[in-house]
Structures are given as structure tokens and as C-alpha cells.
Amino acid sequence: MVTGWQVTPHHQDPVTAGLTGTASRHSPREPVIANGRTQPVRLRQGRGTLGVPAPEPCANHQDPVTTSHLTGGEPETVAKARTAARGRATRFKGDTVTSPASGGDLPDYAPIPRSALGPALNDQGYYVGRVERNLYYVTDGVYQSAFLTTPDGVVLFDAPPTIGGNLRRAVDEIAAAEGVSNRVTHLVYSHHHSDHAGASFLFDGDVTRIGHEETRRLLLRDNDPARPLPEVTFADRYTLQVGGERVELAWHGPNHSPDNIYIHFPDHDTLMFIDVVNAGWVPIYNTNLSEDVIGYMGAPDIALAYPWTHFICGHLGRLATRDDVAVHQAYIADIEASSKEALATVDPVPFYVAAGENAWAGVKAHLDAVTDRAAAPVIAKYTGVLAAADIEVFTRTTTFAIMQSLRLDSGPSGPVHP
Ligand SMILES: [Zn+2]
């Protein structure tokens, strides 16, 4: 649903201000669809993307948890198409169970909020959509990649193996429609993880690979032929200029991984930052499988310090919005607050007394009790707000990771023996 021209003031980037003397280059704004939904390039299934009303944008002073994602009144426009969630959820309650290995019945989970779902996939299992101007994103409903078409060739950002050969198809489709070269000349790694880079070997030949210097070091360690090393590396910042387009790469410290970078498209009003915020969904296990919990918790603030309207988060089917980042931050802040409360409230002594000489049994009982107490109210609050919040193991393991980081990194560690 095109809602008109969204004009965003071109703020100075507070993250990079003072670090670069580069003047901002302004470009005409494209009409976009509200709240991160983009102009579909091609729809194979008729009904779908254009018919999905976007949630009304909410005012900044409203609680993002209760305003941006409770969109139960949306028509079922995507429900019959092959959507991100439905395309993969092949078994439903009531199906015949053949064996646990086949997936079995799903528990009776809460419905996925319609606003958490992306556009319909085509028959080949992908969707390619315009983010803004000549910047596109590709999704298979679970993973996301992006590319920029230029007069000098295509710049690809990540190559998840689940999308795999469909990256080539998506690039070819758009290049043909735009009448530009389909030759991929550059490939940027967001970070070294195989699930986002494992199809990069498909693009060889004259491709210039670009990544953080830690990405190169980790890929050297991993020695995976599916992820060739980046030849161009940088420490803190790198400006990529291809065919008159500009992309700003920056590393602001470890978060999800030691090498995860921020990819800013200043002339496309877009930020790409992978594996921290899942648009409309809870993080999966252990703060989205993150290595640096403090860095993970602080990363959304850094992301929001950039000027952007569209956010490519790397997962699920749709683009993210600033509201999505705010809801994610509220979820993490609630976990942090309840973890502090639980650490301060749950008395460890009875658990260790009861465990006797089995000290590790005491550790388990104590930390399980703290995790239960901290996670339960968060699971209740976000069920129906963030998709899959009721899959309790995700919030419980993320709570455990944050609670451990509070104990080990920032405190409080718990009562001090008198
Ligand atoms: Zn990752």
C-alpha cells in the first residue's frame, strides 16, 4: 500500500560525525511503502504484497511494545499465498505424526502476528523487493541478502546458502528489468558466519570481496572453500564506491560476532546490520547466538544513531523499521531488568544447602530458579507482540545469557558472603 512520499531529514550521522569529512550526497526520495514494506518487483501469486496493509505508524511517545505490532485487524491477504512462515511450516496440528524425525506436530503456539510475516515467495522460493531506488533485498522467508545495481555492475551483500542459486536468479531478474549489467563485481561480507556467507563461492571470477579484517582472520581459521577470503579488508571504516554509488562500512566493536559490521547506504536511506534484531520476531537461542552479550545489547543504539528508514536485518521475510528496533530494545531491556530483580531476590543458599556435596547441582537449581523468575514475565508480556515469544526456550536462553553477563560482566553478581 503506497502511502505517499516519505521524506526523511538527512541528519548528520552521530556515529560517524567527525570521523569523516565526506559531505552527504542527497538524492531524490523514492516513493516507498510504509513501515518497511517495499515495492514488489514481481508477484507470481497475484494477491499478496501490495494488498497487505501496513500497520499505522505510531507516534514516538507511544509505547512501541503496544503500538506497532498488535495489528490483529489486518485482512488475511497473504494467508493463502506461500508466505515466509507458511511456506515452511508444512505440518500443522492435526496432521498425522509419522515419526519425530519428520518434525512431528507443532505445539499449540500462539498465532504469528500478521505484521511479522513478509511478502509471498515466488515459485522458486524467493522474493526480491526494491528497498529504495537501485537497492534490492532478497529473502527466502528465513534469510535475507541484498544487492545494489550500478552501471558498472552489481554489488552483493551476503550470500546465505539457503537462498543460494536464487541470488543469481534475483540479480538476473532485476538486471533484466532495469536494463543494467547482471555481473556481480563486488561482494561484501556482513560477518564471517557460514549461514550468511556460505553461498559466496557461487560468485567467483572477477568478484572483489570486501570484509572486516577480523572476518578475514576468522575465515582463514575456518578454512571453508564456500567462503573465499576477502581481499579488501578494513579496521574501522571503509567507503565502497561503485558506479557512482556509495556504501559506508563500519565496525563499532564486537556484538553478535567479533566481526559484525554496520553497512550504511546513505543515499538509499537504509542500514543493513545482521543477526541482532529480527524484525517482528524474538531473537532465537542465547541472544541470537551472540558471542558478546554486552556488545549485542548495545548494538541497537548504534544502529539507531544512523539515519535510515529501511533496515535489512538478515532474517525472516520483511524489512525492519525503527519501531522494530525499539520493540527489540524494549524486550531486551525488560529481560535485563527482570534478570537484575531475580538475581537480587532469589536466595542461592537453600539451593546449595539442598545440593549437599554436589555443588553443580546447586548451581543448576539456583540459576534455573533465577532464569525462570526473570523470563516468565517477559514471555507473558511479548506473546502476541513479537512472533515466537511463546517458544519459551528462546526467551529463557536469552535471559540466561543476559543474566550470566550481568553476573560476570557488569554485576550484580549476587549476595556477598557475610
Ligand atoms: Zn551470524
Concatenating the DSSP letter of every residue in 194-257 gives HHHHTTGGGS-SSPEEEEEHHHHHHHHHHT-TTSPPPSEEESSEEEEEETTEEEEEE--S-SSS
Across 78-84, average pLDDT: 36
Q: Which three cell numbers stand for residue 313?
A: 536485518
pLDDT surpasses 70 at 190: yes
Cell 530483580 locates to 341
Could you tell me the pTM of the whole model? 0.78
Residue 403: count other Cβ atoms within 10 Å of its Cβ. 24
Taking alpha carbons only, the member of 216, 409, 187, 209 closest to residue 294 is 409
Cα 413 to middle of ligand 1, angstroms:
29
Cα 193 to middle of ligand 1, angstroms:
5
Helix or strand holding residue 339 (H, E):
helix 322-345
Cα 291 to middle of ligand 1, angstroms:
10
For 205-223, the pLDDT digits (tens) are 889 999 999 999 999 999 9
Predicted pLDDT at 159: 98
Domain ranges of the chain: 35-52+67-90+106-282+308-323
Cα 366 to middle of ligand 1, angstroms:
31
**Helix, coil or strand: residue 405:** helix
Contact 377, 336 (CB under 8 A): no
Cα 259 to middle of ligand 1, angstroms:
10
Cα 416 to middle of ligand 1, angstroms:
37
Cα 23 to middle of ligand 1, angstroms:
32
For 256-303, the pLDDT digits (tens) are 999 999 999 999 999 999 999 999 999 999 999 999 999 999 999 999
Q: Which three cell numbers stand for residue 292?
A: 558478546
pLDDT surpasses 70 at 389: yes
Cα 290 to middle of ligand 1, angstroms:
8
pLDDT-based confidence at 169, cuts 50/70/90? very high
Q: What are phi and psi of 229, to 5 degrees?
A: -65, 145
Cα 192 to middle of ligand 1, angstroms:
7
Q: Which three cell numbers stand for residue 238?
A: 571503509
Cα 352 to middle of ligand 1, angstroms:
37
Cα 274 to middle of ligand 1, angstroms:
7
Class of domain 35-52+67-90+106-282+308-323: alpha beta
Cα 196 to middle of ligand 1, angstroms:
7
